[in-house]
């Protein structure tokens, strides 16, 4: 696997470079991260038997600066349409600051849209019980919150009635069992603020194990931004592929290496959808995606197919 490090590292640099170049022209906005209080509406409906159909319908959004001054709100998403059919995988790509993570935050209802609507199985997310919405979505990111407690407790957070055997099985599926066994007290090792500090890749695998237990209808993946080694990337990708199979999946892709097999790739630039299609469609279209991906076409083609598919042993 060592020989993959060179071209992949180079590709990552090029993509970073491109993204930084794109981003440097953007205004820096000093807005604070103060979500509006999101609550259930008085007649919020239950979300039962979720099929997992997702729909962003002409979604416009800007983070509120809190001053009540409309002019202080910069539009971050502008008329965005995205559809994900049950079981499909849709990837969101685009330069830094394009609004990719915001797409994820709106699905979780950390914020509400300014205009348009987001629907799950045809229900506007603002009309369903927040607890039902969030329990139907498995959210995996490197920023996963670990509370003060043992590794086992942190994994069990995905399903509180899980027993030790379930926890270990989930950790195995998440390719986390190996590193957990290497910790001083295994599954009983304390993590979190006052415990062992885990690396980004390890936290992500704890998040995956949690999500395996949660068994949600919808998977929301906010891909890692910080570098993990090639071996860890394999492990993470393999467990994510298993988790995403037959599940509605929305991938927020900060790097391009994992999106090739998505049913649809949505390309965001400056809050707008500028292209959408399969990897092949978008390469043929020779637009922003092709730019992001193709700068190093020679390098990409020299990679083994199974690495790009992320399913190699
Ligand atoms: P990256 O690839 O760098 O993670 P991204 O495409 O995920 O970027 P977002 O994180 O969605 O982009 O950010 C889109 C825009 O919204 C950026 O201009 C960013 O500065 C702004 N933004 C993000 N979060 C907040 C916030 N909490 N308050 C105010 N502005 C924000």
Residue 136, pLDDT score: 94
Q: How many residues does the chain have?
A: 313
Residue 312, pLDDT score: 36
Per-residue pLDDT tens over the stretch 252-300: 987 776 688 899 999 999 999 999 999 999 999 999 999 888 653 444 4
**Nearest partner of 147 among 93, 220, 198, judged by Cα:** 198
Residue 11, pLDDT score: 42
Residue 66, pLDDT score: 63
Q: How far is the CA of 64 from the centre of ligand 1 (A)?
A: 13
**Which residues on adjacent β-strands are paired with residue 248?**
218
Neighbours of 140 (CB within 10 A): 26
Q: Which residue's CA is the nearest one to ligand 1's atom 18?
A: 97
CB 131 within 8 A of CB 53: no
Does any ligand 1 atom lie closer than 6 A to the CB of residue 312?
Answer: no
Residue 93, pLDDT score: 93
Does any ligand 1 atom lie closer than 6 A to the CB of residue 61?
Answer: no
Low-confidence residues in the chain, pLDDT < 50: 1-36, 296-304, 306-313
**Helix intervals (H) in 215-262:** 230-244
Q: Which residue's CA is the nearest one to ligand 1's atom 15?
A: 97
Dump the DSSP string for 148-174.
SEEHHHHHHTT-TT--HHHHHHHHHHT
Probe ligand 1: pick from 25, 78, 100, 141, max atoms within 8 Å of CB? 100
For 261, the 3-state DSSP assignment is: coil
ipTM of this model?
A: 0.97
Residue 269, pLDDT score: 96
Probe ligand 1: pick from 15, 25, 99, 105, max atoms within 8 Å of CB? 99
């Amino acid at each position: 696997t060592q020989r993959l490090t060179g071209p992949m590292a180079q590709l990552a640099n090029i993509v970073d470079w491109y993204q930084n170049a794109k981003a440097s022209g953007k205004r820096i906005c000093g807005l604070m991260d103060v979500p509006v209080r999101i609550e259930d509406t008085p007649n919020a409906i239950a979300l039962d038997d979720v099929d997992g159909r997702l729909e962003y319908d002409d979604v416009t959004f800007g983070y509120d600066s809190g001053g009540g001054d409309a002019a202080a709100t910069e539009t971050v998403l502008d008329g965005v349409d995205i559809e994900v059919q049950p079981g499909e995988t849709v990837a969101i790509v685009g330069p830094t600051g394009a609004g990719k993570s915001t797409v994820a935050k709106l699905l979780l209802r950390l914020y509400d849209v300014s205009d348009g609507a987001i629907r799950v199985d045809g229900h506007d997310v603002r009309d369903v019980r927040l607890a039902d919405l969030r329990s139907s979505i498995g959210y995996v990111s490197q920023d996963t919150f670990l509370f003060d407690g043992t590794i086992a407790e942190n994994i069990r957070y995905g399903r509180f009635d899980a027993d030790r055997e379930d926890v270990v099985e989930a950790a195995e599926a998440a390719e986390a069992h190996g590193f957990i066994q290497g910790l001083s007290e295994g599954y009983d090792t304390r993590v979190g603020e006052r415990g062992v500090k885990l690396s980004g890749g390890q936290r992500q695998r704890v998040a995956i194990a949690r999500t395996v237990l949660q068994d949600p209808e919808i998977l929301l993946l906010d891909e890692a931004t910080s570098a993990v080694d090639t071996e860890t990337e394999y492990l993470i990708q393999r467990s994510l592929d298993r988790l995403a199979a037959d599940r509605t999946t929305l991938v927020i892709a900060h790097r391009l290496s994992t999106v090739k097999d998505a049913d649809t790739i949505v390309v965001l630039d400056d809050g707008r959808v500028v292209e959408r299609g399969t990897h092949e469609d978008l390469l043929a279209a020779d637009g922003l995606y092709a730019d992001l991906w193709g700068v190093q076409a020679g390098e990409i083609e020299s990679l083994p197919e199974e690495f790009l598919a992320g399913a190699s042993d």
